[in-house]
Structure 1
Amino acid sequence: MQSRQGMPGPLQGLDLAPLYRDCLLDSRERRETYDVIAGELCDYGLQWRGGAVDAKAYRCRTGRLAIYSMRYGDEVTITPDLYRDFLLVHVCLRNGIELDGDGETAHVPQGGVYFSAPQRRIRLRWQEGCEQVIIRVPYGLAGIEAGTPLRPGAPLAAGLAPIFSSQLNMLLSLARQPEGLPGLADWAAHAEEGFARFAALHLRADPAQAAAALRSWDPAGGEASERDGSERHADRRDRLVAFIESRLARPIQLDDLTRAVGVGRSQLNDLTQQAFGCAPMALVRRLRLQAARRDLEIDPDQTLTQLSLRYGFEHQSRFSAYYRRLFGEAPRETRGRLHGAAPATGTGRSG
């Protein structure tokens, strides 16, 4: 993955080092790659060309933005769910992509930046070895209201690469600063909104509307409505967690979650991204893993096969991989630690 050195073309000032501190994925398996990416962003169709898989993904979250670095290795064709209430920013670090949004095709080369918000159809083809930074921007943060006419996509305006790089560098740096500095959170929120509105400018169909949106931006306004929104957000969050925890041993589908909370899929995804930093089904997996860990701590003598099946994981190897990613140790290591000794290699129960 790239940081400042070797950054292509007009993005030479971009410093991605803060992004590469949280590795989400390092895999050569297609299924694991799909599961992790879908859990972070949204459900999508994924077609591999047939080459070698060399997938890697990193994540950095600010308060309301999710910033990722991703690669698949092989050439892939992706057909994601439609973007209902967010836009994506694509930054091609290595090789390029082809996007088909609402019938308009765009080729984004290495070093290119593209803003995407299709409403009817989206298809992306990543070249072999393509590596991208992807930024998920909620419409609300960008000042885009329901029904606002948007272009399906647009490249970064000529000459604005230094501004874009400066804004992204600031967001990444702020996300990694220690808490405690007075006023830092307010400044970070201001920087987030500035970046989001900068992205939205490229997609507004009416230039006059874009100018009006900037003039109407009041970073200090809307405090009462924000409080009301925060209360609704907390209520939905609590209902969602209560529903999942009541069904940890039973199958859960995405539509079950939307009905439990009373929102659509896109709103649910926004809720879990903001409250938990992940997609809805990734939250289900996380809560199941946390419950499995508590169960194992209570009864370390149970088999790991029984434990994984009890919480909906049909494949123990995948359960162990998810467990290690979340807790930093395998289930067998947890069990060995609870027994008061390091887990033996090649001995004991296989689980």
Structure 2
Amino acid sequence: MARVSTPLGSHGVLRTTNVDDARASVAASLAPHVLTPLREVEGFRALHNAVELQRLSFHYIDYGTEVEVRADRLDFHLIQIPLGGLSHIVTGAGTVTASPRRAAITGPDEPVRMRYSAGNPRLMVRITPDLLRERLDVAAAGGLVVPQQSGAGFDLTRGAGRSWRGLVDMVMTDLEREDGLSASPLTAAALQVAVVDGLIVSLAAAPDDAAERATPDRIVRQAARLIEEHCAEPLGTLDIAEAVGVSIRALQAGFKLHLDTTPMAYVRQARLERVRQALSDGTAQSVTAAATRWGITHLGRLSGDYRAAFGETPSETLQRNR
């Protein structure tokens, strides 16, 4: 079988199953934080690769399991590009969900909480505030204004965002070569400017004129699969829409047209089915345990929704299968 290499594989920083060692390694090159595994600790396998390019650095991080990261503040701008799974990011500016189709950016000087699903390796681009400020000034002088950076997301599947994603891959590939363009201070400076300018253009790109049309069946199916795979996580309509790269209205219209339901109703049904399975096969010893495992926080509403879906209460399912 061919060996699959990880991004920045020749710039390994850490590989460990120890949570404290992983936290210390990432803190040293990014920011002090609290790292908490949310599922099986034995599944925790951290991998951190990183390389600097003057006032910009690239990182590849994978924790191997679902984790939460909390930091009181960052002193840089951070762009996150999941290679799989979802990243839920909460900052003072709002909440944004990143996926392989959609990058997210957070800014400095504000608290941030990030929840990474299992199977969520990600690329991160760290940019110093002075570099981004300089390039924003240049962009503004040319008539290009980005109203908000922190808490923003942008599409990686089309237009400027797609090109920027390819540029990031190209630069990281070059950084793997000892004789690449990045080895020269002259071209290293040009590459970092290109990455930041491309980011600015991607953030400022006008929305697609067709964004409000109903989402095609193919994208609705993709959103449904995403819900099925991540229904235990705190999903909202905005999270799902951003993850598949469409507007909220287009997603809602697509679910109505193709599935005759709403995205959140689909999420609730997926969770109810997981709860029923857990109560039926004995993997949950109580209704509360099953509900908590599958992201249901309103236990009072659970009984009525469950009875409407399956014709019996969760407790009756549990007792019948004991």
- Which residue of structure 1 aligns with residue 53 of structure 2? 62
| Alignment partners' CA distance in 2, 1:71 and 1:50 | 15
CA distance 1:183–1:47, change in 2 (3 Å): closer
- Which residue of structure 2 aligns with residue 297 of structure 1? none
How is 1:239-278 mapped onto 2 (pairs within 5 angstroms)?
none
For structure 1, the 5+ residue unaligned runs are 6-15, 208-351
- Which residue of structure 1 aligns with residue 11 of structure 2? 22
- Which residue of structure 2 aligns with residue 224 of structure 1? none
Give CA-to-partner distance per residue, 1:64-89, whole Å, 9 cap, x none: 321111011221111123233x2111
| Alignment partners' CA distance in 2, 1:182 and 1:156 | 26
- Which residue of structure 1 aligns with residue 189 of structure 2? 189
CA distance 1:61–1:180, change in 2 (3 Å): closer
Tell me the CA shift for residue 57 of structure 1. Answer: 1.2
* Aligned residue among 92, 96, 111 for 1:106: 96
1:74 alignment partner AA = T
CA contact 1:27–1:33 (8 Å) conserved in 2: yes
CA contact 1:95–1:129 (8 Å) conserved in 2: yes
CA distance 1:107–1:182, change in 2 (3 Å): closer
How is 1:103-182 mapped onto 2 (pairs within 5 angstroms)?
104-117=94-107, 119-142=109-132, 143=134, 150-157=148-155, 158-178=158-178
1:130 alignment partner AA = N
Tell me the CA shift for residue 163 of structure 1. Answer: 1.2
- Which residue of structure 2 aligns with residue 314 of structure 1? none
Tell me the CA shift for residue 198 of structure 1. Answer: 2.6
How is 1:179-328 mapped onto 2 (pairs within 5 angstroms)?
184-201=184-201
- Which residue of structure 2 aligns with residue 79 of structure 1? 70
Question: Aligned with 1:160: secondary structure?
Answer: helix
CA distance 1:72–1:175, change in 2 (3 Å): same
CA distance 1:81–1:201, change in 2 (3 Å): farther
| Alignment partners' CA distance in 2, 1:40 and 1:184 | 23
2:152 alignment partner AA = A
CA contact 1:115–1:202 (8 Å) conserved in 2: no
| Alignment partners' CA distance in 1, 2:203 and 2:92 | 13
Question: Aligned with 1:107: secondary structure?
Answer: strand
Tell me the CA shift for residue 145 of structure 1. Answer: 8.0
How is 1:338-349 mapped onto 2 (pairs within 5 angstroms)?
none
1:152 alignment partner AA = S
CA distance 1:20–1:129, change in 2 (3 Å): same
CA contact 1:113–1:156 (8 Å) conserved in 2: yes
CA contact 2:82–2:122 (8 Å) conserved in 1: yes
Tell me the CA shift for residue 138 of structure 1. Answer: 0.8
| Alignment partners' CA distance in 1, 2:182 and 2:118 | 45
Among the aligned pairs, what percent are the same residue? 18
For structure 2, the 5+ residue unaligned runs are 138-145, 207-322
- Which residue of structure 2 aligns with residue 312 of structure 1? none
**TM-score where L is the length of structure 2:** 0.51
Tell me the CA shift for residue 141 of structure 1. Answer: 1.8
1:140 alignment partner AA = D
Q: How many residues align?
A: 191
Tell me the CA shift for residue 123 of structure 1. Answer: 0.9
CA distance 1:180–1:53, change in 2 (3 Å): closer
Give CA-to-partner distance per residue, 1:127-146, whole Å, 9 cap, x none: 12211001101122222689
Give CA-to-partner distance per residue, 1:252-306, whole Å, 9 cap, x none: xxxxxxxxxxxxxxxxxxxxxxxxxxxxxxxxxxxxxxxxxxxxxxxxxxxxxxx
CA distance 1:183–1:127, change in 2 (3 Å): closer
Give CA-to-partner distance per residue, 1:132-186, whole Å, 9 cap, x none: 001101122222689x974422222452243113321332244344359899421
| Alignment partners' CA distance in 1, 2:197 and 2:14 | 30
| Alignment partners' CA distance in 2, 1:180 and 1:50 | 41
* Aligned residue among 25, 33, 47 for 1:36: 25
- Which residue of structure 2 aligns with residue 95 of structure 1? 85
CA distance 1:144–1:72, change in 2 (3 Å): same
Tell me the CA shift for residue 99 of structure 1. Answer: 0.8
| Alignment partners' CA distance in 1, 2:185 and 2:32 | 31
- Which residue of structure 1 aligns with residue 215 of structure 2? none
Tell me the CA shift for residue 192 of structure 1. Answer: 0.5
Give CA-to-partner distance per residue, 1:38-77, whole Å, 9 cap, x none: 1121101222214121111111222332111101122111
CA contact 1:153–1:203 (8 Å) conserved in 2: no
CA contact 2:44–2:63 (8 Å) conserved in 1: yes
Question: Aligned with 2:168: secondary structure?
Answer: helix
CA contact 1:119–1:152 (8 Å) conserved in 2: no
